[in-house]
A and B are shown apart, each in its own frame.
Chain A
Amino acid sequence: DGGITQSPKYLFRKEGQNVTLSCEQNLNHDAMYWYRQDPGQGLRLIYYSQIVNDFQKGDIAEGYSVSREKKESFPLTVTSAQKNPTAFYLCASSMGRGGKTQYFGPGTRLLVL
């Protein structure tokens, strides 16, 4: 089946710890995105990548890092510098660049212990 997978579904982080969220797609999409969703708020863009080995900061990149070494993978690291990491993290991908239809993975819920 084609689609986007994210793992884990739930993730617990201790204070001062870095954690990495996985996002994989087999849709052969060029562009991939990471969003954060807080209760009652819209999706906010963290990082996006339009091509392998290239990525751009979104609106709330501070405290996060990404890599795009392979077309199908776009992992997100939540670093200890992110002071309020508890949120629902969504990965998406789209064919081509710009305002194209985005398809989402099932998300990862990150909780701080």
Chain B
Amino acid sequence: RKEVEQDPGPFNVPEGATVAFNCTYSNSASQSFFWYRQDCRKEPKLLMSVYSSGNEDGRFTAQLNRASQYISLLIRDSKLSDSATYLCVVDATGFQKLVFGTGTRLLVSP
């Protein structure tokens, strides 16, 4: 089983739609969780950290479910500029490094 698994998509949604991505992780001892955004041919950029109680940043909401070992990202009122690949990131065994998922691609159309 991969340490971090994501549906590659693409998720095609119209502007204004709400879309959600899930990501599962294998290490039940993981403590740090993040969502990064990566635009085509660019570096990943931190979108938000994911906290145990869940957290929100504008149109973006992240949730953590430790029992089922998954994290989620909800995007409300999608914008064209949200089109990107969203990377799920979890700290690895031994907590010396982060493991990046392969990403979920989102395409928002007019």
- Using a CB–CB distance below 8 Å, which chain A residues touch chain B? 33, 35, 40-43, 45, 48, 50, 56, 58, 88, 90, 97-107
Contact = CB atoms under 8 A, between A and B. Distances in A.
Contacts of A90: 43-44
A105 B43 contact: yes
Interface in B1-60: 4, 8, 30-32, 34, 41-46, 49
Interface in B52-110: 87, 90-92, 95-98, 100-103
A56 to B, nearest CB: 7
Given A104-B44, A107-B42, A56 B96 contact: yes
Given A58-B97, A107-B43, 8 more contacts: A42-B103, A90-B43, A98-B91, A98-B96, A98-B97, A99-B30, A99-B97, A101-B34
Nearest to A43: B100
A100 B43 contact: no
Contacts of A56: 96
B43 A106 contact: yes
A99 B43 contact: no
Contacts of B49: 101
Given A42-B103, A99-B32, A48 B97 contact: yes
Contacts of A58: 97
A99 to B, nearest CB: 3
A97 B102 contact: no
Contacts of A42: 4, 87, 100-103
A80 B98 CA distance: 28
Most buried by B among A50, A56, A98, A99: A99
Contact of A99 (B8, B91, B102): B91
B96 A41 contact: no
A101 B34 CA distance: 8
Given A41-B102, A42-B87, A42-B103, A33 B97 contact: yes
